[in-house]
């Protein structure tokens, strides 16, 4: 990620005497260096949009039909629109905090935590860091679970196709597929920073459109075959579930939708890859608007047509609800696209966490060759690859831990809802609002200050409700759960 690039430039080149750029301000008009002495950033509105879409249209889209089914035809679409508006608005506020002071020439904040440090400082920085990195850690777990579900879905669809629709021999263990996904992430995690995974983001964004379009197409086709639109104004009916379960499920649906829109915790890091002029905040406003509009259209279509196709029986994962055999090859393509997308999205989300740990390690052990030294490995037909032993060891351990936890707690809908609930209010709303108020020096009790606080408090209530629903869902799942025995 951009921040990691800057940090690596200091961490790994300092022993070779190349960090003069950090200490000597660049001459005006430098063709190689930005105003902070780092190499010129090359990101554009389109690359930033690709990063955002990669981060946003993730596994969350698969649970939207289920979420709409809990809320109904009225509340479901309205809630999605409200989340899209809040996400866009607070992302605009956050993008204004990339530079401290002046939006064109102010000091750059390379990470979300840097922005909090510059604008709020104190204890809030530590709280922000804890929430952000726990959330990123949780997203890695959620993506591992989602990828394994899609891989087992491919295996099951082929099994049903070969052995018949009623075969009882097609239950597949998800654990081997979580391990396969983990091995892939270990390999890709060795890509040092965000600037070098732009191609992975492009591929992942294309894959996200692929499976979303297939899911949408299958939903439309099923509505046509049914010759009617299923569902009701108020969502899943009492009788299918108890009144208490309906309340918990409705709360959990809020968390699922929040998770589907969450990307604010990596917005500053994405913005740090964008070139200037124009001011980075202007570019990010356009990139955010494009991304939120595109994702909202996809979310509304996938969520609503999925609900129209299945009604109260809408599955937690949309692409596992069409049966595994009609048309099995199309479902296979969609699930393969999900896996490829999640490989990229996992890396996009984890880069800030990687950068934070590696920066801390460098500051703590500045003379350690294990942490700071790069080993140059020539690759035939390609430029030299820089292998850092600390990066190799710690990122591998990280991926192994997330994979093991995924095998222990494979509750897709509940994990997604809980992550959305825990990350939405503090990272998407509270910190951006408070930093914006501080940056723009908005007077306390002014109309704008009161409006922003009302927005923040309302989103806090939504997050608390969503968290309670997801915790209740986990509690129910645990009653019939056996560790490391997950079959689909």
Residue 38 lies in a domain: no
Number of other residues whose CB lies within 10 A of the CB of residue 355? 25
Report d(CA 336, CA 332) in Å as an integer.
6
Residue 35 lies in a domain: no
Look-up of token digits 């890396």? 347
DSSP letter assigned to residue 190: T
Query: What pLDDT, on a 0 to 100 scale, did the predictor assign at position 456?
Result: 92
- The domain containing residue 70 runs over which residues? 44-478
82 by Cβ neighbours in 10 Å (0-12 / 13-18 / 19+) ranks as: middle
Look-up of token digits 């940056």? 439
Q: Tell me the CATH number at 384.
A: 1.10.4160
Radius of gyration (C-alpha) of the chain in whole angstroms:
23
Residue 263 lies in a domain: yes
Beta bridge partners of 49: none
Question: SS3 breakdown of the chain: % helix, strand, coil, rounded to 5?
Answer: 70, 5, 25
Residue 24 lies in a domain: no
With a cut of 50, list the residues of the chain below it in pLDDT. 1-28, 324
Q: Which of 399, 392, 318 has its CA nearest to residue 141?
A: 399
pLDDT tens figures, 456-473: 999 899 888 888 887 877
Query: What pLDDT, on a 0 to 100 scale, did the predictor assign at position 15?
Result: 35
Residue 424 lies in a domain: yes
Asked if 292 and 454 count as a contact pair (C-beta separation under 8 A), the reply is no
Q: Which of 204, 196, 265, 262 has its CA nearest to residue 43?
A: 196
Query: What pLDDT, on a 0 to 100 scale, did the predictor assign at position 454?
Result: 94
Burial 198-214 (b: 16+ CB within 10 A, else e): eebbbbbbbbbebbbeb
In degrees and rounded to multiples of 5, residue 383 shows phi and psi of -70, 170
DSSP letter assigned to residue 424: I
Total domain count, the chain: 1
DSSP letter assigned to residue 312: G
Residue 128 lies in a domain: yes
Tell me how far CA of residue 367 lies from CA of 319, 364, 370, 374, 391, in angstroms.
51, 9, 9, 13, 16
Residue 17 lies in a domain: no
This prediction's pTM: 0.74
Asked if 440 and 225 count as a contact pair (C-beta separation under 8 A), the reply is no
């Amino acid at each position: 990620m951009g921040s990691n690039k800057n940090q690596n430039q200091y961490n790994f080149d300092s022993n070779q005497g190349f960090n003069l750029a950090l200490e000597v301000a660049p001459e005006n008009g430098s063709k190689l260096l930005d105003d902070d002495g780092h190499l010129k950033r090359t990101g554009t509105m389109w690359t930033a949009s690709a990063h955002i879409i990669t981060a946003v249209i993730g596994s969350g889209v698969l649970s939207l039909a289920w979420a709409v089914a809990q809320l109904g035809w009225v509340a479901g679409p309205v809630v999605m629109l409200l989340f899209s508006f809040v996400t866009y608005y607070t992302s605009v506020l956050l993008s204004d905090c990339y530079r401290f002071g002046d939006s064109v020439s102010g000091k750059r904040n390379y990470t979300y935590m840097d922005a909090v440090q510059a604008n709020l400082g104190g204890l809030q920085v530590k709280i922000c860091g804890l929430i952000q990195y726990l959330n990123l850690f949780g997203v890695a777990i959620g993506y591992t679970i989602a990828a394994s579900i899609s891989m087992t879905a491919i295996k099951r669809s082929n099994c049903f196709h070969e052995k018949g629709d009623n075969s009882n021999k097609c239950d597949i263990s998800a654990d081997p597929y979580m391990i396969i996904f983990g091995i892939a992430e270990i390999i890709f995690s060795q890509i040092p920073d965000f600037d070098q995974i732009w191609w992975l983001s492009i591929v992942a964004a294309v894959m996200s459109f692929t499976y979303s379009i297939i899911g949408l197409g299958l939903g439309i086709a099923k509505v046509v075959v049914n010759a009617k639109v299923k569902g009701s104004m108020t969502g899943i009916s009492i009788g299918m579930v108890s009144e208490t379960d309906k309340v918990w499920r409705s709360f959990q649906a809020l968390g699922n939708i929040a998770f589907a829109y969450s990307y604010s915790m990596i917005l500053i890091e994405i913005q740090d890859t964008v070139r200037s002029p124009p001011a980075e905040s202007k570019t990010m406003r356009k990139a955010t608007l494009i991304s939120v509009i595109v994702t909202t259209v996809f979310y509304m279509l996938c969520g609503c047509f999925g609900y129209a196709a299945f009604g109260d029986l809408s599955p937690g994962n949309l692409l596992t609800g069409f049966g595994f055999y009609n048309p099995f090859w199309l479902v296979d393509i969609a699930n393969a696209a999900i896996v490829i997308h999640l490989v990229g999205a996992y890396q996009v989300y984890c880069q800030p966490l990687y950068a934070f740990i590696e920066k801390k390690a460098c500051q703590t052990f500045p003379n350690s060759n294990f942490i700071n030294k790069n080993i140059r490995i020539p690759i035939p037909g390609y430029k030299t690859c820089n292998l850092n032993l600390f990066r190799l060891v710690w990122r591998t351990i990280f991926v192994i831990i997330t994979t093991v936890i995924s095998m222990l707690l494979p509750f897709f809908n509940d994990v997604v809802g809980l992550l959305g609930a825990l990350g939405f209010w503090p990272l998407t709303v509270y910190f951006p609002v408070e930093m914006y108020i501080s940056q723009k020096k908005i007077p306390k009790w002014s109309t704008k200050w009161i409006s922003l606080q009302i927005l923040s408090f309302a989103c806090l209530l939504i997050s608390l409700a969503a968290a309670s629903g997801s915790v209740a869902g986990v509690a129910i799942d645990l009653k019939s759960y056996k560790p490391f025995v997950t079959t689909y």
